[in-house]
Amino acid sequence: MKMFTRAIVRKPAETFANGITTANLGKPDINLALKQHEAYCEALIKCGLELTVLDPNPKFPDSCFVEDTAVVTRDFGVIARPGDPRRLGEEVEIQKVLEPMLTLCYIEEPGKLDGGDIMQADNRFFIGLSNRTNLAGSKQLKNIVSKYNYEAYSIPVCNLLHFKTGVNYLGDNNLLIHKDFCSKDDFKSYNQIVIEDDEEYAANSLRVNDYVLVPKGFPKTKASIENLGYQVIEVDLSEYQKMDGGLSCLSLRF
């Protein structure tokens, strides 16, 4: 049984290099970013997903990171309220795209919530409290998902941009987690695959149906995931890493 059948993605705009970043890895090459985005889309198609590909939006340099604009399941969607004011407005078009597909709920002021802080693990949602997601946003999301019989837990995020920068659920009770994630004890019931500092970017690997997408260039993480029995697809995301973006950020999957 497939976990996901559809995904929404957005191509990066020519203004991509003007986006928000703390990575200090240099300016991204937009032409290479476009090629990498195409390869990312091909990987999602290989995983069995039907894609909705949105045109670039130069008004919002970060708008290719569509995951932050919503939280989606096969049953419902939640339109987020981005925590950085420079990204407010990105969610408006995503709402229009999702309206024909899903029943929608909304995070409202004073709530702040980025989709990159929300991880679904089977019937649970973990909500990262970060600089982009506040307690008000967390409480609103808890109330929404509880109506659909999901459990929800708020988890503090320290020294990371988003919750899923450091923690990602692979299914089958397996969890990737960065070694310095400050709330590891909250995940004692999971089989933790601990990611070391030299491969921290690979903590944001992405399970999609029968495959796990892993960023290219992190052999230890790739081997750890393969040793669990998963099929791996490597995806080169060098230009997105420069802009604090990862595998999960680039799509909304449901």
CATH number of the domain that 198 lies in?
3.75.10.10
Q: Which two tokens stand for residue 159?
A: 């020294």
Catalytic choice (37, 64, 105, 162): 162
- The structure's pTM equals 0.97
Q: Which residue out of 41, 47, 64, 249 is catalytically annotated?
A: 249
Q: Check pLDDT > 70 for residue 150.
A: yes
Nearest-angstrom CA–CA distance, 151 and 86: 31
Share of the chain above pLDDT 90, in %: 96
**Percent of the chain whose predicted confidence (pLDDT) is above 70:** 99
Any domain includes 1: no
Could you list the residue range(s) of the whole structural domain that residue 216 is in? 6-253
**Residue 159: what pLDDT?**
87
- Which has the minimum average pLDDT: 29-43, 127-141, 179-193, 206-220? 179-193
Our answer to whether residue 162 is catalytic in this structure is: yes
Is the residue at 72 inside a domain?
A: yes
155 is a domain residue:
yes
With beta carbons less than 8 A apart as the criterion, state whether 243 and 201 touch.
no
Nearest to 64 by CA among 28, 19, 105: 19
Asked if 128 and 117 touch (Cβ cutoff 8 Å), the reply is yes
Let me know if residue 63 belongs to a domain. Answer: yes
